[in-house]
């Protein structure tokens, strides 16, 4: 499953890069509500959801992918029910999730010659989730592309979330915070 996740994730990143525009500044005035998720976001030109493993399967409350693009940036949100028995209660369990994310970012770093990764940070979302996020950038043929990848676990819904953002400006730190400020994954 990890290798198929890596392939899907890489393809989604490549798809997202192609739809990035050179404009910045987002107004979070729209709302997405489905699959037990509520999220404020800017007006998207394109919003798609599908099953976690294959595009022909529909997204569900248990797992899915939401891809959206605006003139300012693109996002990809993954969610899936925790496949492990019990809840993530210890720092070690949370650190393992963080290490998986760092491993994905390291794979991109090895694949791209001009890939720069900033040290990861933690923040607490307004609904109390401990979120690990990491910003990064690389130069493609026409511009520098900036990204952020974040991951957190919701004990109430027993789901793991990963939010990825791509754009052509360095404001991903503030964009992660904007999305988290308007994000709810449980009642």
Where are the chain's structural domains? 2-55+73-184
For residue 1, the SS3 value is: coil
Query: How many CA atoms lie within 13 Å of 179's alpha carbon, on the beta-carbon side?
Result: 27
For residue 186, the SS3 value is: coil
For the purposes of burial, counting CB atoms within 10 Å of the CB of 11, is it exposed (0-12), middle (13-18) or buried (19 or more)? exposed
pLDDT of 165: 92
pLDDT of 67: 92
Rounded to whole angstroms, how far apart are CA atoms 149 and 147?
Answer: 7
Answer for the pair 79, 86: CB distance below 8 angstroms, yes or no: no
pLDDT of 9: 45
Terminal alpha carbon distance of the chain? 30
Q: Which residues are bridge partners to 115 per DSSP?
A: 138
Architecture of the structural domain at 2-55+73-184: 3-Layer(aba) Sandwich (3.40)
**How far, rounded to the nearest angstrom, does the alpha carbon of residue 100 sit from its chain's CA centroid?**
14
Rounded to whole angstroms, how far apart are CA atoms 183 and 67?
Answer: 15
pLDDT of 64: 92
Q: β-strand 115-117 against 130-139: which pairing, if any?
A: antiparallel
Answer for the pair 73, 20: CB distance below 8 angstroms, yes or no: yes
Element (H, E) at 164: strand 159-167
pLDDT of 172: 85
Q: What is the DSSP letter of 177?
A: H
Element (H, E) at 123: strand 121-124
Query: Mind listing the pLDDT tens digit of every residue in the chain (187 residues)?
Result: 444 444 444 444 444 444 433 343 458 888 899 999 999 988 888 889 988 766 678 999 988 999 998 877 899 999 988 766 555 555 555 556 666 666 666 665 656 567 788 878 888 999 988 888 888 888 878 888 898 989 888 888 888 899 999 888 888 888 889 999 999 987 6
């Amino acid at each position: 499953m990890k290798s198929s996740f890596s392939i899907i994730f890489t393809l989604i990143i490549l798809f997202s890069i192609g739809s990035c525009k050179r404009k910045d500044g987002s107004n979070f005035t729209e709302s997405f509500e489905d699959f037990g998720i509520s999220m404020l976001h800017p007006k998207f030109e394109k919003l798609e959801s599908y099953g976690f493993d294959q595009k022909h399967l529909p997204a569900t409350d248990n797992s899915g992918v939401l891809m959206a693009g605006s003139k300012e940036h693109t996002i990809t949100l993954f969610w899936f029910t925790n496949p492990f028995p019990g809840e993530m209660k210890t720092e070690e369990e949370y650190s393992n999730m963080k290490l998986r994310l760092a491993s994905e970012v390291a794979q991109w770093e090895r694949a791209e010659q001009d890939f720069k990764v900033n040290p990861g940070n933690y923040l607490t979302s307004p609904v109390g989730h401990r979120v690990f996020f990491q910003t990064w950038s690389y130069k493609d043929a026409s511009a520098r592309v900036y990204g952020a990848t974040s991951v957190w676990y919701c004990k109430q819904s027993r789901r793991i979330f990963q939010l990825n953002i791509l754009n052509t400006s360095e404001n991903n730190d503030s964009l992660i915070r904007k999305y988290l400020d308007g994000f709810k994954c449980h009642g």
